[in-house]
Chains A and B, each alone.
Chain A
Amino acid sequence: MVPLAYFQLVSAGLFAIGLYGVLARRSAVLIVMSIELMLNAVNINLIAASSHLEGLANFAQFDGQIIAIFVITVAAAEVGLGLAIILRIHRNRSTVNVDEIDLMKW
Chain B
Amino acid sequence: MPELTQNIGLLSPEFALAGLALGILAIDLFLPDGKKQVTPWLSAAGLAGIIALSLYMLWGRQETLYGGLLAVDAFSLFFKVFFLGLGILIIFTSMEYVDRRLDNPGEFYGLLLLSILGMNVMAQSRELLTAYIALELLSFCLYVMAAYAKGEPKSNEAGLKYILIGAFSSAILLYGVSMIYSSVGVTRFADISLALGSAGDVSPALWAGLALLVVGLGFKVSAVPFHMWAPDVYEGAPLPVTAYLAIGSKAAAFALILRLVAEGFVPAEDLWSQWQIIFAVLAAVTMLVGNLVALAQTNLKRLMAYSSIGHVGFLLAGIAALAPSSVLASNGVMLYLVGYSITNLLVFAAIIAFFNLTGREEIVDLAGLADRQPFLAACIAIGFFSLGGLPIFAGFAIKFYLFVAVATGGFLWLAGLAIFASLISIYYYLKVIRQMYIEPVPEYVAAGSEREDGIVYEPEQNLSPSFLMLGVLAISMLAVVLAGVYPAPLLDLIEAASQAILPGA
B73 CB to closest chain A CB (Å) equals 24
Contact present for A81 and B143 (CB under 8 Å)? yes
B417, chain A: closest CB distance, angstroms: 23
The answer to whether residues A81 and B178 also contact, given A28-B164, A104-B154, A104-B235 and a CB cut-off of 8 A, is: no
| Docked complex: B141-180 residues within 8 A CB-CB of A | 143-144, 147, 150-151, 153-154, 156-161, 163-164, 167-168, 170-172, 174-175, 177-179
Cα separation A47 to B140 with both chains bound (whole Å):
25
The answer for the CA separation of A42 and B182 in the assembled complex, in Å, is 11
- CB neighbors of B among A48-68 (8 A): 48-50, 52-53, 61, 63-64, 66-67
Q: How far is the CA of A28 from the CA of B91 in the complex (A)?
A: 32
* Cβ-neighbour of B151 out of A64, A85, A92 (below 8 A): A92
| B232 CB-CB contact with A under 8 Å | yes
- For the residues of B in contact with A, the DSSP-based class is helix
List of B residues within 8 angstroms of A61 by Cβ:
185
Instruction: Please tell me if A86 contacts chain B, counting CB pairs below 8 Å.
Output: yes
Is A49 touching B140 in the complex (CB atoms < 8 A)?
A: no
Instruction: Check A8 against B171 for contact (C-beta < 8 Å).
Output: no
Q: A39 contacts which chain B residues (CB < 8 A)?
A: 171, 174
Whether B362 is near chain A, meaning CB under 8 Å from some CB there, is no
Q: Which residues from A are CB-within-8-Å of B228?
A: 106
Whether A42 and B168, one on each chain, are in contact in the complex, defined by CB atoms closer than 8 angstroms, is: no
Q: In the assembly, what is the distance between CA of A104 and CA of B236, in Å? A: 8
Q: With a CB–CB cut-off of 8 A, which chain A residues contact B129?
A: 66-67, 70
Residues of A within 8 A of B168 (CB): 22, 35, 38
- Does the CB pair B181–A38 fall under 8 Å? no
CB closest chain-B residue, reference A104: B232
The reply on B231 being an interface residue by CB < 8 A is: yes
Query: Interface size (B, Cβ < 8 Å)?
Result: 41
Do A49 and B182 touch (CB < 8 A)? yes
Chain B 178-220, CB-CB to A under 8 Å as 1, else 0, gives: 1101100101000000000000000001000000000000000
Residues of A within 8 A of B205 (CB): 8
Contact A41 B175 (CB under 8 A): yes
Is residue A4 contacting chain B, with contact meaning CB distance below 8 A? yes
Q: Quick one: closest B residue to A105, CB to CB? A: B232
| CB of B448 to closest CB in A, whole Å | 28
Known: A48-B182, A101-B157. A88 touches B147 (CB 8 A): yes
Chain B positions 326 through 337: 1 when the CB is less than 8 Å from some CB of chain A, otherwise 0:
000000000000
Q: Mask for A63-85, Cβ within 8 A of B = 1, else 0?
A: 11011001100100110011001
Check A31–B164 contact: CB distance below 8 A: yes
Q: Does B475 contact A (CB under 8 A)?
A: no
State whether the Cβ of A2 lies closer than 8 Å to any Cβ in chain B: no
Are B185 and A53 in contact, CB atoms less than 8 angstroms apart?
Answer: yes
Whether a CB of chain A sits under 8 angstroms from the CB of B136 is yes
Contact A104 B157 (CB under 8 A): yes
Ordered by A's residue number, 29 sampled pairs between the chains whose C-beta atoms are within 8 Å are A31-B164, A35-B171, A39-B174, A41-B175, A42-B171, A42-B174, A42-B175, A45-B175, A45-B179, A45-B181, A49-B178, A49-B185, A61-B185, A63-B185, A64-B178, A66-B129, A77-B136, A81-B144, A82-B164, A82-B167, A85-B160, A88-B147, A88-B159, A89-B160, A103-B153, A103-B154, A104-B158, A104-B232, A104-B235
Q: A8-B182, A28-B160, A49-B182 are in contact. List 6 more A-B contacts (CB 8 A).
A: A45-B178, A64-B178, A89-B156, A103-B157, A104-B157, A104-B158
Chain A residues packing against B (C-beta within 8 Å):
4, 8, 11, 15, 18, 22, 28, 31-32, 35, 38-39, 41-42, 45-46, 48-50, 52-53, 61, 63-64, 66-67, 70-71, 74, 77-78, 81-82, 85-86, 88-89, 92-93, 98, 101, 103-106
B interface list, Cβ under 8 A from A: 129, 132-133, 136, 140, 143-144, 147, 150-151, 153-154, 156-161, 163-164, 167-168, 170-172, 174-175, 177-179, 181-182, 185, 187, 205, 228, 231-232, 235-236, 293
